[in-house]
Chain A
Amino acid sequence: EADIYQTPRYLVIGTGKKITLECSQTMGHDKMYWYQQDPGMELHLIHYSYGVNSTEKGDLSSESTVSRIRTEHFPLTLESARPSHTSQYLCASRSGRQETQYFGPGTRLLVL
């Protein structure tokens, strides 16, 4: 069982609201990732980080932003939520020496 946590697990919010999805891991992993997954579809990488103060955009364009002030923490923020942001957001991490990414349980976001 991987020690990677996401909160909230479920979020229903109105259009225009600012939201932050939390992700934290206690494994000391330097690499962290955010993925977006719609039902029945593949995961799409939206952000990644190689370490503190390092953040990059992924393959899928996203209006969200991320920060990496601490190794264990990689929050994702949407300044103004829209219905098109409705999806599942998965956070993952891995060490530099291992290939396998460990995933959190995900946050299911519904924007009304």
Chain B
Amino acid sequence: KNQVEQSPQSLIILEGKNCTLQCNYTVSPFSNLRWYKQDTGRGPVSLTIMTFSENTKSNGRYTATLDADTKQSSLHITASQLSDSASYICVVSDRGSTLGRLYFGRGTQLTVWP
């Protein structure tokens, strides 16, 4: 049972527009949440990481929010560019094991059109 759910599954937007991707999780206990960007045919690259006490974190045009009470996170992309076309993966880590296990979402496939 996947403990990290992302929506929408795919999204198409026009260049220059903003968009918001959602991530809901049931992982417990909770250590941190990260957003990764995965270009087609490449490995994921970390965008942001947030711990329990952080509710927002920015990385350039990417802003992630976290509500640990409702177990929801969002990734907001401002003024989208063609290079933003990629899969965005939400990853949650628990603190219940020495492995620091990661739970991966299936990603939101974002396509930015000119």
Contact = CB atoms under 8 A, between A and B. Distances in A.
A105 B107 contact: no
Contacts of B32: 99
Contacts, number: 51
A99 B49 contact: yes
Q: Chain A: interface secondary structure?
A: loop
> Interface size class for chain B?
20 to 34
B12 interface: no
A14 B101 CA distance: 34
Contacts of B111: none
A72 B17 CA distance: 42
Contacts of A40: 9, 106-107, 109
A7 to B, nearest CB: 13
Contacts of B9: 40
